[in-house]
Amino acid sequence: MLVILFAGSIFFPGLFLLLKRCLKRIPGLRWSEGDAVIVSARLVSSIQALMASTAGYVIATSCNDIIEDQHWLTSSYILFAVPYFVYDIYAMYMCYWYKLRVKGHEADCGAKPLGTALSSYLRREFLMVLHHVVMVTICFPVSVFWRQGKGDYFQGVMFLAELSTPCVCLGKILIQYKQQHTLLHKVNGGLMLVTFFICRVLLFPYLYYAYSRYASIPFYMVPFSVPWQCNLGASLLMAPQVYWFCLICRGAFRLFAGTSRSRPPAPAQLSKGDPDGKAVQPPPANGYRAQKTEEETNAH
């Protein structure tokens, strides 16, 4: 157990540092420290998501009895992935730190780095940080010890929730670098909407449906047939997913509605009422600002 935990503790931070170094040194890229940190963090999240989804598929397809069958990969990957959630809290903070500097808020991240920037980060990303803390402090011991080796199928299906993460990460990168007008952003937004709904929102109703078939009881009777801890855990895990999905839907509506109404941007003109004669910049082509959309797509 300790060996697997140690391996995860080395793998995810080490992968982050390796990707950051490569992005800063590869000829033709040579990105700045901030750009390399932000993109590396998204790449690590995507790689972890693909690993978790692959493990989940192997586990789910290997269990014929959804309650009694066991697969060695279940507990092993849980142990391996736990350090990721601890690392990711730090990685998200580093991304937030460099975003502040890019936006010109050096006062927030320079004068009081641990006071202003950290407290601002915790306020902004409170739900995501809380989600990660719960995964480590509650979901980890429940999945490894409380289950007592039962329900590996359900754990494997829950790993498949990570399938939506690569789309979320790519969307964040495109928004960060103001690529909302591209076809890639629109296609990725559609995929993110579909995968997030299927893999995260429909996930828990499906688990209840699978148990109803296994126990040969009506779907609506499942909440009354399983331990109350299962209902509580499912409710607490599903609630933020529904909230994030609503934010994604709002962002997608602004993106596609704004695109349908947008016209080719006019060249910058001198404002008649501006005594300094500064150029007036056209509004974003997609009809909404990247900053607001970025907040709405913070689901990981």
pLDDT per residue as tens digits for the range 135-144: 999 999 988 8
Q: Judge whether residue 40 has pLDDT over 70.
A: yes
Residue 258: its pLDDT value, please? Answer: 66
Mean pLDDT of 35-43: 93
Residue 125 tokens read as: 């990303």
Q: Which of 11-25, 157-171, 190-204, 266-280 has the lowest mean pLDDT?
A: 266-280
Maximum mean pLDDT: which of 111-125, 165-179, 266-280, 282-296? 165-179
Instruction: Annotate 31-86 with DSSP letters as a single string.
Output: --HHHHHHHHHHHHHHHHHHHHHHHHHHHHHH-SSTTT---HHHHHHHHHHHHHHH
Residue 31: its pLDDT value, please? Answer: 81
Q: Is-contact 157 207, C-beta < 8 A?
A: yes
**Total Cβ atoms within 10 A of residue 239:** 11
Residue 115: its pLDDT value, please? Answer: 62
Q: Judge whether residue 280 has pLDDT over 80.
A: no
Q: Judge whether residue 282 has pLDDT over 80.
A: no
Residue 182 tokens read as: 């591209």
Mean pLDDT of 61-77: 93
**4-24 residue pLDDT tens:** 999 999 999 999 999 999 988
- What is the chain's mean pLDDT, rounded? 82
Residue 150 tokens read as: 């039962």
Residue 287: its pLDDT value, please? Answer: 36
Mean pLDDT of 189-193: 91
Provide Rg for the chain, Cα atoms. 22
Q: Is-contact 34 98, C-beta < 8 A?
A: yes
**Cross-strand bridge partners of residue 270:** 279
**Total Cβ atoms within 10 A of residue 47:** 19
Residue 101: its pLDDT value, please? Answer: 73
Contacts with 262 (C-beta within 8 Å, 6 or more apart), sequence order: 285, 286, 287
Q: Judge whether residue 129 has pLDDT over 50.
A: yes
Cα 121 from Cα 9, distance rounded (Å): 23
What pTM was estimated for this model as a whole?
0.80
HEC readout, 242-271: HHHHHHHHHHHHHHHHHHHHCCCCCCCEEC
Q: Judge whether residue 277 has pLDDT over 50.
A: no
* Integer angstrom CA distances of residue 8 from 12, 15, 56: 6, 10, 17
**Cross-strand bridge partners of residue 279:** 270
Mapping DSSP to helix (H, G, I), strand (E, B) and coil, where does residue 106 land? helix
Residue 239 tokens read as: 């609630």
Q: Tell which residue, 257, 248, 233, has the closest CA to residue 146.
A: 233
Cα 123 from Cα 188, distance rounded (Å): 28
**262-274 residue pLDDT tens:** 544 444 443 334 4
Contacts with 268 (C-beta within 8 Å, 6 or more apart), sequence order: 279, 280, 281, 282
Instruction: State the sign of the Cα–Cα–Cα–Cα dihedral 129, 171, 242, 203.
Output: negative
Q: Judge whether residue 79 has pLDDT over 50.
A: yes
Q: Is-contact 296 124, C-beta < 8 A?
A: no
